[in-house]
């Protein structure tokens, strides 16, 4: 058995699990061949108490190790698959307006850069967010996170970055903080004031970097509004040196670094992530061999976003197989945002990971759970099912875990448990 909890009274038991994916058995993120190790238990069960896993293993072992009481809830999984709750470590899930018009422009052949030059792209979201009320942002964000939960995501990172002014970035981060305090999903906030150069600073880029360092980062830190700080380190946006300055200042104020790295060009951003010991380097479509080696040596998690490349009509996707073979811990995320990846479903991302990135179903599941949690420095809390971990799990409407990426385009989450309570049943939020 994966853990004993003798003499503990459990408040929830999930039994009759055909395939129980625990992700137990390894410290930190999985790399290389260990990305195919699921901690699989046939005929399993999970018991929890006070929101934490008490015991996990075969049904007979778990039932023998815990006591039940009059309030214990017992759920029959119907011989189906159970996994840890999915973790989405890169999103822009709070925004004011969608951008389907840009989607149509891309279908007609306009590039990301051309759309941006025409006033679209990130700056379009900046204009709408600056006009929006906090109530509108809160309502939109809650609806987005609700959909994520219904599809099996129980922990999600949400970035700012559509304000790009002190007032609007604080407005956005306060909304994210309120959602984190009130939504059942664990929400991890990230400050992304270095998402783009706002229109009013485009002729004084160094001035905006100084503004980020001298004004915005201290203000965000003073209200404790962000766990991480991210920078879009890319040709035409923030240089490597500018990114280094911003992230070093953020770390001095208690925020750990992340990077949008090497998405459009091989730019040295992965190497910077390794140098800084960032929690993650994300996108990596154009990562260099040197960048891959640096990520592997440093243990920085590579967060891949295949939904973004697909939505943008890109011909090249992040080199997942080469990253895994190089020993880089690989995670997956939706990049849920209104411009380049309008999806709340990690299930779709699992399918793309297998069909486009050529990741095995096992690697994709690892990348969406324990490795995704590591990209948020949360692998000791979520992303796996082991005694002491948070009891976040999904009961899937399948009897073979490989069917999760295989059967795409529908919601396969039969039920979602968050901190030991059923929060989604038959695809709908529980009352």
Task: Say which CATH number the domain at 160 has.
Answer: 3.20.20.140
In a domain, 370, yes or no: yes
In a domain, 2, yes or no: no
Q: Same domain for 73 and 196? A: no
Domain limits for position 63: 9-84+384-429
Q: Same domain for 412 and 279? A: no
CB burial readout 105-119, b (16+ within 10 A) else e: bbeeebebeebbeee
Q: Same domain for 79 and 103? A: no
Q: Same domain for 173 and 266? A: yes
In a domain, 79, yes or no: yes
In a domain, 300, yes or no: yes
Q: Same domain for 90 and 148? A: yes
Cα distance from N-terminal residue to C-terminal residue, the chain: 34
Q: Same domain for 20 and 168? A: no
* Predicted local confidence at residue 51, as pLDDT: 96
What's the domain count of the chain? 2
In a domain, 4, yes or no: no
In a domain, 1, yes or no: no
* Predicted local confidence at residue 431, as pLDDT: 55
pTM, rounded to two decimals: 0.96
Considering 374, 396, 418, which residue would you say is the last residue of a domain? 374
- CATH code of the domain containing 41: 2.30.40.10
In a domain, 362, yes or no: yes
* Predicted local confidence at residue 115, as pLDDT: 85
Q: Same domain for 328 and 391? A: no
Taking alpha carbons only, the member of 220, 293, 291 closest to residue 252 is 220
Q: Same domain for 26 and 108? A: no
* Predicted local confidence at residue 118, as pLDDT: 80
Q: Same domain for 350 and 406? A: no
Q: Same domain for 80 and 90? A: no
Residue with tokens 């160094």: 206
Q: Which two tokens stand for residue 95?
A: 């925004």
- Please list the rounded mean pLDDT of every run of 10 residues in the chain (431 residues): 58 97 88 97 97 97 93 96 98 96 89 80 93 98 98 98 98 98 98 96 97 98 98 97 98 98 96 98 98 98 98 93 98 97 98 98 98 97 97 98 97 98 82 55
* Predicted local confidence at residue 4, as pLDDT: 44
Question: β-pairing, 86-88 with 81-84?
Answer: unpaired
Considering 330, 356, 374, which residue would you say is the last residue of a domain? 374
In a domain, 56, yes or no: yes
Q: Same domain for 328 and 413? A: no
Q: Same domain for 222 and 321? A: yes
The residues facing 103 across adjacent strands are none
């Amino acid at each position: 058995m994966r853990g004993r909890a003798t003499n503990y009274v459990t408040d929830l038991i999930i039994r009759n699990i055909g395939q129980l994916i625990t992700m137990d058995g390894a410290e930190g993120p999985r790399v290389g061949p260990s990305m195919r190790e699921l901690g699989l238990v046939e005929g399993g069960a999970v018991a929890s108490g006070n929101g934490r896993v008490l015991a996990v293993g075969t049904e007979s072992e778990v039932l023998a190790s815990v006591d039940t009481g009059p309030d214990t809830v017992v759920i029959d999984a119907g011989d189906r698959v159970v996994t840890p709750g999915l973790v989405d470590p890169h999103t822009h899930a709070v925004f004011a307006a969608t951008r389907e018009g840009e989607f149509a422009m891309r279908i007609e052949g306009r590039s990301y850069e051309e759309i941006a030059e025409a006033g679209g792209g990130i700056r379009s979201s900046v204009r709408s967010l600056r006009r929006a009320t906090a109530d509108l942002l809160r309502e939109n964000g809650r609806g987005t996170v609700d959909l994520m939960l219904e599809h099996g995501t129980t922990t999600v990172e949400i970035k700012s970055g559509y304000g790009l002014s002190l007032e609007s970035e604080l407005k956005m981060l306060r909304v994210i903080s309120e959602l984190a305090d009130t939504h059942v999903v664990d929400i991890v906030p990230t400050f992304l004031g270095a998402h783009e150069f706002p229109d009013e600073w485009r002729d004084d880029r160094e001035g905006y970097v100084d503004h980020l360092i001298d004004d915005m980062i201290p203000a965000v830190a003073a209200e404790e509004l962000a766990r991480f700080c991210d920078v879009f380190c890319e040709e035409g946006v923030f240089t490597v040196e500018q990114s280094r300055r911003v992230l070093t200042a953020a770390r001095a104020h208690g925020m750990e670094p992340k990077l949008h790295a090497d998405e459009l060009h091989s730019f040295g951003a992965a190497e910077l992530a390794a140098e800084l010991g960032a929690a993650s380097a994300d996108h990596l479509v154009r990562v260099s061999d040197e960048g891959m080696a640096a990520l592997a040596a440093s243990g920085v998690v590579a967060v891949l976003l295949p939904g973004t490349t697909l939505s943008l009509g890109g011909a090249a996707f992040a080199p997942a197989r080469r990253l895994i073979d190089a020993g880089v811990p690989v995670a997956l995320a939706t990049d849920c945002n209104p411009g380049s990846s309008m999806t709340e479903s990690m299930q779709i991302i699992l399918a793309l990971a297998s069909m486009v990135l050529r990741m095995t179903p096992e690697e994709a599941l690892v990348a969406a759970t324990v490795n995704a949690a590591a990209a948020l420095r949360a692998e000791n809390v979520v992303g796996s099912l082991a005694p002491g971990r948070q009891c976040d799990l999904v009961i899937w409407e399948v009897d073979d875990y490989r069917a999760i990426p295989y059967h795409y385009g529908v919601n396969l989450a039969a039920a979602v448990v968050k901190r030991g309570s059923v929060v989604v049943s038959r695809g709908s939020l529980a009352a």
